[in-house]
Amino acid sequence: MMAELSSVTGSAARWRFAASSARAAYLPPADARHPPAGYFGAAVTVTIGCVAAAAYLSVAYPGTVEVAFIAVLVVFLAACVSLVVFAPPVLTSSAMARNTGVCLGLGSSLGLLLLSRSNALDAGAMTFIVPVQFLTLVIAPVIVAGIARSLRAAVQVIIASFVSGGVMMLPVYILESIRRYHTDRGLYLDGDAPIGTTIETNLGDAISWLLIIVPSLMIPLGIMGAALATVVVRAIERAVRRTSPVVAAAGSGGIDKKTGS
């Protein structure tokens, strides 16, 4: 594309060519970006799960589901499904990253459910959510960045972990917070039972802490950590190659010299 652009003259023609090529780069033909069938099925299933949990809540506890909650849920689910179905190439280039993220999300959801059912979260779900999101949104991307020597792969892990973890933990959080509320009228988030706590308070916690506040802290840390890991691993690789000609000869076949990745 860049080579073709260099042969186009005239500002307007160059802009037209650049715009049409950029559109082709960001949004390739639909048949070139079909998601794997398993991912599509999983996306539909968890979306139905989230909607069913919210619908159950609005039927069983009329008046507790606010418009803001429904709006955030709809936007989040629409973003998740569109990421799975219409993901641009920049988000789907590493199958390892995507699989890692989805597995971490599934593990987070199952962990929350099992620990909650075994009464290990009496101190509140926050004792699980913060460490697990640190693991999935910071530690795992840093490891993947180190292994793949690629910041892009790490970002894909972060997005896949956030989307799959959020969409699978949300229904668990909603249903378990209802159970907790009926047990001791407490908050599922931190185990406290302040005066005036309602089901609605638990819902607000689910949205704000699970989908907004904790990820807002962890995702930037994950990106900066992954960038650092990429730089360090590449520097070590260059140093090893300089000091050992044998390793350099063996390694030169696997490294793209143009991109360094």
Partner 1 sequence: MNPTIGRAWRVTAELLLIAITVAVIVTGVMYALAAPSFDHPNHGGNAWRNFVTGSVVLSVLGAGAAWVLWLAWRQQAALNVQPDAPARFLAVAVATLPDGRRD
CB of 28 to partner 1, least distance (A): 8
Contact positions with partner 1 (CB under 8 A) in 102-131: none
Contact positions with partner 1 (CB under 8 A) in 124-183: 151, 155
Contact positions with partner 1 (CB under 8 A) in 186-225: 208, 212-213, 216-217, 219-221, 223-224
At how many degrees (to 10) do helices 95-117 and 126-134 cross?
160
Assess 244 for contact with partner 1 (CB under 8 A).
Answer: no
C-beta neighbour count of 92 within 10 angstroms? 18
Tokens linked to 146: 């180190």
The 3-state secondary structure of 122-150, one letter per residue = CCCCHHHHHHHHHHHHHHHHHHHHHHHCC
Is the CB of 100 or the CB of 116 nearer to partner 1? Answer: 100
| Contact region with partner 1 (CB under 8 A), list: 4-12, 40-48, 131-139, 170-178 | 4-12
CB of 137 to partner 1, least distance (A): 11
CB of 22 to partner 1, least distance (A): 4
Is the CB of 90 or the CB of 114 nearer to partner 1? Answer: 90
Secondary structure class of 259 (helix, strand, coil): coil
- The dihedral sign for the CA sequence 154, 171, 125, 207: positive
CB of 211 to partner 1, least distance (A): 11
Q: How many residues contact partner 1, by CB under 8 A?
A: 34
In angstroms, the CA 172 to CA 40 distance is 21
In angstroms, the CA 17 to CA 19 distance is 5
Contact positions with partner 1 (CB under 8 A) in 32-51: none
Identified binder of partner 1 from the candidate list 36, 41, 89, 251, rule CB under 8 A: 89
Question: What is the DSSP code string of 11-43?
Answer: HHHHHHHHHHHHHHHHS--GGGGPPPHHHHHHH
Tokens linked to 184: 């001791």
Q: Which residues make up the interface to partner 1 (CB under 8 A)?
A: 1-2, 5-6, 11, 14-15, 17-19, 21-22, 25-26, 88-90, 93, 151, 155, 208, 212-213, 216-217, 219-221, 223-224, 227, 256, 259, 261
